[in-house]
Amino acid sequence: MISPQPAHKEQTSMGTIMSHKAFGMYAEDCLDAVCREVARLESILSRYIPESDVSRINQNAGRNFVEVNPETFNILARSLELSAICDGNFDITIAPLVNLWNIGKNSFTQPPIREMKQVLELVNYRDLILDASSKKVGLSRPRQAIDLGGIGKGYTGDCILEIFRDFGVTSAYSNLGGNVVTLGAKPDGTPWNIGIQHPRLVDSLIGSLAVIDRSIVTSGSYQRFSNDSLGNQFHHIIDPATGYPVESGLVSVTIVSDNAMTADVLSTALFVMGVNRGMELLMSFPKTEAILMDSEEKVFVSKGLKGHFQPNEGIEYTILE
Ligand code: AMP
Ligand code: MG
């Protein structure tokens, strides 16, 4: 008989507060292992840890290939595949632009256009070269750099699900700050109810999603941003085509999928692409659904979420067939 009380742990990692819950006999030990796994992944994937695989690739840009963990290699290989499928709207070589815009920092000023154009030249996922036989990785040009901020937490979510399963847990939930993964249903067999944050209203939801065995990942311009002295707001998702924070008309994109890494990439890519191009891209991913909100607070829900999405009071939405 599964205990009705879950084991619960919080940890701060990857720049966010994470919360893990699991039910079952070995739930406590399982969550200890989950926290260790998250810390391990941060140590290889963060570009703010100087010894990480990602930092070593960046430090050697335009100079040397570096040997990386096979796991890092596979994440990078999948990142490149998805970047191509997303037509370059998702691009992990975005790092020099993220640095230039200094998003999330206090003393924020818009970079000079000339400098921005020069830095934009450095962004191209095709310049990340992977050598499968040696598991070595290199960036073609000096000053290029990669940033896994748009995919790393998704991958981490998939690894957490593996650990839940390894410990025989059949009902669990993890919130990685905007990325939620669920294993199975709640112990009473009913679906998990996952709230979708309203991008404009504090402590308010667009609605909630009833899910079993799904990952729910949200990208939003409200999640990380800075204001300049004129009161302009700049958020953290950059359009690799223009070098500017994205203005696609969307303020929030939620992706629902059975793969958290793919959902993470798509949440970022659809945010860049906007409703029409984004929904077209989504069609090529089976069993993958979306909830979008635009700057006029119009909500669009893909048809596979019919019966799973419950809007908050006052929220009207259109089902996209
Ligand atoms: P997410 O919150 O998953 O949409 O990811 C946003 C994070 O990914 C940012 O904080 C950057 O670190 C990075 N990023 C920003 N723009 C892009 C982009 N167009 N493609 C890939 N990663 C991006
Ligand atoms: Mg993402």
What CATH number is given to the structural domain containing 96?
1.10.3980.10
Ligand 2 geometric centre to CA of 281 (Å)? 15
Ligand 1 geometric centre to CA of 238 (Å)? 7
Per-residue pLDDT tens digits for 184-227: 999 999 999 999 999 999 999 999 999 999 999 999 977 887 77
Q: Which long-range contacts (CB under 8 A, 24 or more apart) does 47-56 make?
A: 47/95, 47/145, 47/146, 47/147, 47/148, 53/137, 54/146, 54/147, 54/148
Both 109 and 229 in one domain: the answer is no
Q: Which of 91, 123, 223, 268 to mutate to test the pocket of ligand 1 (most atoms within 8 A of CB)?
A: 268
For residue 106, the model assigns a pLDDT of 65
Ligand 2 geometric centre to CA of 267 (Å)? 5
Both 287 and 211 in one domain: the answer is yes
Higher pLDDT, 162 or 235: 162
Which ligand approaches the C-alpha of residue 220 most closely? Answer: 1
Lowest mean pLDDT among 86-90, 110-114, 155-159: 110-114
State percent of the chain over pLDDT 70: 97
- Report which protein residue has its CA nearest ligand 1's atom 15: 237
Both 196 and 272 in one domain: the answer is yes
Ligand 2 geometric centre to CA of 157 (Å)? 12
In a domain, 174, yes or no: no
CATH of the domain at 271: 3.10.520.10
Per-residue pLDDT tens digits for 127-171: 999 999 999 999 999 999 999 999 999 999 999 999 999 999 999
| Atom number, ligand 1, closest to the C-alpha of residue 271 | 4
Ligand 1 proximal residues by C-beta, below 6 Å: 90-92, 94, 98, 147, 149-150, 219, 223-224, 236-238, 240, 264, 267-268, 271-272
Per-residue pLDDT tens digits for 28-84: 999 999 999 999 999 999 999 999 999 999 999 999 999 999 999 999 999 999 999
Which ligand approaches the C-alpha of residue 260 most closely? Answer: 2
Both 99 and 215 in one domain: the answer is no
Cβ neighbourhood burial of 137 (10 Å; 0-12, 13-18, 19+): buried
Mean pLDDT of 10-19: 96
Contact, 222 vs 100, CB < 8 A? no
Ligand 2 geometric centre to CA of 268 (Å)? 4
Both 124 and 195 in one domain: the answer is no
For residue 235, the model assigns a pLDDT of 77
Domain, as residue range, for 295: 191-320
Residue at which a domain ends, from 102, 121, 139: 139
For residue 231, the model assigns a pLDDT of 72
